[in-house]
Each structure stands twice: as C-alpha cells, then as structure tokens.
Amino acid sequence: MTLRLVVLALWLATVSASAQVPLSESLRDDSEDQYHHFDPPVRRVAVIGAGPAGLQYASVLRDEGFNVRLFDRAPGPGGNWFSSRVVPIKASFPDRDVKTGSYTPDVPKDLPRVHEYKEGEDGVSLDARWRDHWNPSPVWEHLTSNSAPFFTSLPETKYPADIEWALPQSAIRRHVRSYASAKGLNSNDEESVNITSYSTRVEYLHKAAGNDVWTAYLRRLSWHGPRLRAEWWAEEFDAVVVTVGYDSSHVPNIPGLASWAQRFPDQVYHSREYRVPEKLGGKNVLIIGASVSASEIARDIAPHVTAFSISIRDHERNTYMQRRSLRRLPPNITHIPEIASFGSIPVNATGIQELNINLLNKTTIRGFDEIIFATGFVRSLPFLADYHNSTIKGREEPEVKVHPIITDGGSLRSLYWTGHYIPDPTLAFKIGRVWTVGTYHALLLARTWKGKARLPNERLRWDGYEGPGGASVFDGGFGTLGEEARNRKLLVHLSTEALKFGGRLVTPWPIEGREQFVYYAEHAWEAGYTRSENFTRWENVPESEWGSGKRDESNVQWIPEEW
C-alpha cells in the first residue's frame, strides 16, 4: 500500500514538475514565430506541367480541398510520356539564352485577347507554330524505359502483369493516361473542365512586390478546322507548383557548327527530334554524346544505317548510367574523338557530306549524311523570368537582390528541401523521384499550405539550405543512400506533423520492392549497384549522423533528379 502511494506520489511529482515549465520556456519551445504562416490562406493553386508529377500534385491538391488549375502546353496529359510521331521544333544552334531557351514568352498588352493565325503569317507555318507552342516530347517510337514497372508506376495504377522490365514507351504513355483518367484529369473529362487547361502554355508568372497573389499569363492554341486560334488571358493564384522538368534541348557551341546546322537543318539536329530509324536507312550517321540518348539511338539505328560513328569526349565517367550507356553501344559503331571545330561552308556546298570535321586529335574527317546531337537538356522555364540570373556561374552564391531559381539551366536554386522557394514558400517545385514520392510530396505541399504541417520561418529555411540542387546526402537516383535519406525525411516529417495536426499516416516503399529492385539493378543497370541494406541504412541512424555539407566533387555521383 505505502509503496504504491509513494510510487504514485513520485509519478505525480514528475508529471507536475514537467507541467511546471516556466511559461516563457514553453513559449520558446513551441514558439509560433519559428514557423511560417500563410496569410492570406492558400485557396487557389496552379500546377504547371501535367506529366507524371503534375497529375499527382493536381489530384492530391484538389482532393485536399484546394481550388486547382492544371496547365500543360501539350494537348493532353503525360508530360515526357505524351509521346507521338510529331517532330519537335528544331533545336536552336547555338543554344539560346537559358531565359528563353524553350520559348520566348508571348504576353500581349491587352488581355484577354484572341487571334486567328493565317498560314505563313510572319513567315511561320501553322504547323511550326503549333509544334513550337507545345514542344513535343523527346520520346521516340522504339524507346524503352531504363527503369522497371514496379518503380515506374503511379499510385493505384497497374501495368499488364506480364509486361517486360524494359517498358515500351507506349505502355508508359497508357499508364500515365489511365492515371489521369482515373483522377478525372484527362483532356476529355467533363468534371475536369474547370481544372485542366491543355494546349495552354504559361508565358509569365509574376508576383508584384508587396502583393499576395501570383498572376499567370496564359496562351492557349486550338485548331478550328484548318485555322489555328490563339487565346491569351490571365488568372490569379495564392500558390503555384512547378512540375516542369528539363524543357529545352542543349547543343554544344562548337566553332563552325551553328552555320552548318542553320544551312542544312534536316541533316544536323538534336536527339529530341529523333523519331524512327527507317528514316536513316542507307545513311552514314554521326552521333555526338555518350549518355543514354546516344547509346539507345545508336542501338535503334544500327540495323538500318550503312555506317555509324560516335563522338565521345575523353574523360572518366563515374555514374552507373554513364558506364551502362557505354556498355550498351553497338560493338560495330566507330568511335571518334571529341570535335574541335567544323570547317567553313564551301559556297557550292549541297549538304553536310562536304563538311570538314576537325577532331581534337588534329585529324579531319567528312562524309556524314546526318549528325545527331545527343547532348542533353537544360531547364529554361521562361515563365520564371523574374527568377533567372545568368550572370551567376556554377555553384557560386553571390549577394543578390532577387534570389535566383535558374542560373545556368542545371539545378534549381534557393529551394528548401521541401521544394518551397525559400523567400516565398507560396511557390514550390517538385522534389524527389516523381514515380516514387510524387503523391507524398504533393501531400506535404497540401498540408503545409493548409497549416497542417509546419514550415520553418525564412531564417531557418536559409539555415537549412544546402546550395544549388540540394547537396550532400540528398543526392542521387533511385536506390541510392541519398534518395533514401530524402524519402525518409519526407515520410517521417509527414507522419510527425500528422500526429500533431491530424492526417493519415504514410507508408514507405514496400520492403518486398527493395529486394526486387536490387535484383533488377544488378541485371539491368550494373552489377553491385546497390544492396537491400541501402534502403534501410538510415533506419537506426539519427539524421544528425547522416553527414552533410559539401559534396565530394571529385567523385560526383550526379543523377538527374528527373530520374
């Protein structure tokens, strides 16, 4: 009896002691000003881009009660996987400024405005105007995925049970479209008429100083029989999610190249414009580049061409995807060194066959019928003109008036790990691998904007900023420790905030999937790429011991965050 009373008394003493924290102390612990307050509250949200990411963000935000608008410049949902035989408009040689890389924003003074284009108006055909507007996807007819179905799928959406690991691009297209339909976001879904706006390019996104609303300036093109109609208008939003990836083709600025590409545009082009191998039948083709597009196009054209060569820069390639690409090159492709310059154009030139190509090893070669630049992409996002600063190079972070989001077309800047633009978190960007965590990240944005998940104040967000493109442990593609660390942080954050404010708990990627992935990666990517333990590696290690700070630039395992 006595003992129990003593225990009870001790227990009561402990409880009351912990309850007797001075008021100021408790205020400091749970102090509101550590956190950001969305005032006015976020109600209307724009999602820019209806790829696998944007579809998930629009669907989650709508279901969480926001008034959502989803814009895509393409005529339907799917993003990269809205693939077709329509050939994208020719890449610019040389690259345009990053700021207008993917298009030059078109915002008339008087809004709204309607105009019907005539064939050949301003020297532009209707067909070219249409393709320039929506920028068809880079995906070619025979492309297959370099990721397996079980980690290239959207929630509640299935692939046929017996589908092969290397997914035909058309299977991914159908998969993403069926997700869009299931969520009522497809181009012909009646219930989405007030949500989706396809063939609608965001031209300019602007928030005036001291203002609370974002204004999106929009342009939609539509065919009316043989006529092409353009409509321009503006809409206002409390918050915006950008789910646009690399939107512009990149070509190297090799001396002499631009004049040849302009003179013979059908013979010199970017991998984005490659569609079918039959077109290259009987030709001698040169591919420039050493990555996935280069090796996969080489494999596709191998049986059709009479000869083919590849120009690869001479340096070590440290990522598994780079090594895999080199291994996948057809063994009978001719390797040539990096190109130093292209010769001048003879006045009587009739094609690039007469083009002298000067190699870095001082040899000159010629005789190619077509040259394909598989030299990658940049992120241009011209609608974010207010947040571009191209004078900033590499990873430098100078004093600035406006914290830039885009500098050289590579990694995005000034973003917190949650994807929010640090100076104004009503603007957010997709983070993580869209197939794996897109829905969870969308949920995080929804809860943050509803006040059901906390976001640190601006000073704390800058304190936690790891530099352009994230850094340190939050690097890497699927199955890397970095990716797993980020996913873990995202899931744990969602669940701890749900514990405090309510909301359903989220579950990690299924444990069975880990074993399957290790097996897949071993065979399809590279032996020893990852181990099952890499997925659980952080489980017994507190975040404070994950390590952070500078990434080791000498051994950068950089994988595009798209992946």
Ligand X SMILES: *[C@@H]1O[C@H](CO)[C@@H](O)[C@H](O)[C@H]1NC(C)=O
Ligand Y SMILES: Cc1cc2nc3c(=O)[nH]c(=O)nc-3n(C[C@H](O)[C@H](O)[C@H](O)COP(=O)(O)OP(=O)(O)OC[C@H]3O[C@@H](n4cnc5c(N)ncnc54)[C@H](O)[C@@H]3O)c2cc1C
Ligand Z SMILES: NC(=O)c1ccc[n+]([C@@H]2O[C@H](COP(=O)([O-])OP(=O)(O)OC[C@H]3O[C@@H](n4cnc5c(N)ncnc54)[C@H](OP(=O)(O)O)[C@@H]3O)[C@@H](O)[C@H]2O)c1
Which residues are at the interface with ligand X (CB under 6 A)?
Answer: 191, 193-194, 302-303, 305, 307-308, 330, 332, 336-337, 346, 348, 350, 354, 359, 361, 363, 389, 391-392, 398, 400-402, 479-481, 529-531, 534
Q: How far apart are CA 204 and CA 201, in angstroms?
A: 9
Query: What is the residue whose two structure tokens read 């790829």?
Result: 51
In sequence order, the β-bridge partners of residue 67 are 44
Integer Rg of the chain from CA: 26
Tell me if 469 contacts ligand Z by CB under 6 A.
no
Give the one entry of ligand X, ligand Y, ligand Z, none that residue 361 binds, where binding means its C-beta sits below a cut-off of 5 to 8 angstroms depending on kind.
ligand X
Q: What are the tokens at 108? A: 């008339």
Binders of ligand Z in range 363-422 (CB under 6 A): 374-377
Residue at 320: amino acid letter: Y
Between strands 268-270 and 44-48, the pairing is unpaired
If one asks whether residue 244 binds ligand Y (CB under 6 A), the answer comes out as yes
**Rounded to whole angstroms, how far apart are CA atoms 107 and 204?**
8
Sheet with 214-224, side-by-side order of all strands: 113-117, 227-237, 214-224, 200-206
| Cβ 484 to ligand X shortest distance, Å | 8
Backbone φ, ψ for residue 281 (5° rounding)? -55, 130
280: its two tokens:
């290259």
- Which of 91, 268, 434, 559 binds ligand Y (CB under 6 A)? It is 434
The yes or no reply on residue 89 touching ligand Y (CB under 6 A) is no
Of 42, 46, 47, 74, the residue at the interface with ligand Y (CB under 6 A) is 74
CB of 333 vs ligand X, minimal distance in Å:
8
Q: Is position 141 an interface residue for ligand Z (rule: CB under 6 A)? A: no
Q: Which two tokens stand for residue 314?
A: 């001479």
Cα–Cα–Cα angle for 180, 184, 185, nearest 5°?
55
Per DSSP, the three-state class of 238 is coil
Amino acid at 440: Y
SS3 450: helix
Could you tell me the smallest distance in angstroms from the CB atom of residue 183 to ligand Y?
Answer: 14
Q: Is 371 in the site for ligand Y (CB under 6 A)?
A: no
With CA atoms as reference, report the closest residue to 202 among 433, 388, 52, 380. 380
How far is C-alpha 180 from the geometric centre of its chain's CA atoms? 18
C-alpha span between 465 and 459 (Å, rounded): 10
For ligand Y, the closer of residues 260 and 525 by Cβ is: 525
User: Which region among 228-236, 282-290, 327-335, 466-474 touches ligand Z (by CB under 6 A)?
Assistant: 282-290
Residue 292 in contact with ligand Z, rule: CB under 6 A? yes
Among 60, 290, 434, 446, which residue interacts with ligand Z (rule: CB under 6 A)? 290
Q: Closest residue (Cβ) to ligand Z? A: 376
Does residue 83 touch ligand Z according to CB under 6 A? no
What whole-number distance in Å separates Cα of residue 95 and Cα of residue 101? 7
State the binding partner of 245 from ligand Z, ligand X, ligand Y, none, CB within 5 to 8 A by kind: ligand Y
**Contact positions with ligand Y (CB under 6 A) in 4-63:** 48-54
The H or E element that residue 51 is part of is: none
Please report whether residue 337 would count as binding ligand Z according to CB under 6 A: no
**CB closer to ligand Y, 290 vs 352:** 290
Report the interface residues with ligand Z, using CB under 6 A: 143-146, 252, 271, 288-294, 296, 311, 313, 317, 338, 374-377, 560, 562-563
Report the interface residues with ligand Y, using CB under 6 A: 48-54, 71-74, 79-82, 138-139, 145-147, 152, 201-202, 243-245, 247, 383, 430, 434-435, 562-563
